[in-house]
Structure 1
Amino acid sequence: MSVSLKLELDKVTVVGSPFNQGMPRQRVDFNIDPELGVFGMDTVVHKHFALGETFAVLNHDVTLVPPPGQPTHYGIAVMHSKVATVKFMDRDWFNVVKGEYHMTYNPGVEEAHRFKAGNVMKSHYIQVEPYFLNELLMSVSPGRNTPLWDFKEQVIRGEFANSGGAVSLPAFYQVIQNVFDCPLDGPLGDIMLEGSLHQLMALQFSMMGAQHQTSPVSHREQETFYAIKDHLRATFLEEHSLLALSRKFGINQNKLKTGFRELFGTPVISYLYDLRMDFARTLLLDKNMNVNEVSPMVGYRNANHFSTAFKRKFGISPSRLKY
Structure 2
Amino acid sequence: MLVKSKIVELADWLFEEEIPDGYVPDKPLVENRISISKDPVHMENFQLSTSGLFILHSKMQFDRPVQVLTEIEGETITSQFIFFKPTDSKLPYGMSRHNIRYIPSVKSIHEVEPGIEYTYFIAVISKEYYLNLIKRDSLLHQQFVHEIEKGEYVSFSEEDLMATYEMQHTITELIESKKKGEIRRLHTESRVVELLMYQFEQYNEKTESSDLLFHEEDVQRLEMARQILEQRIANPPTQKELAAEVLTSESKLRKDFKEYFSVTIHDYLTRVRMEKAKSYLLEDKMTVYEVALLTGYGHQNNFSSAFKKYYGISPGELKM
- The normalised TM-score by structure 2 is 0.47
User: Normalising by the residue count of structure 1, what TM-score does the alignment of the two structures yield?
Assistant: 0.46
**Larger relative contact order, structure 1 or 2 (CA cutoff 8 Å, min sep 6):** 2
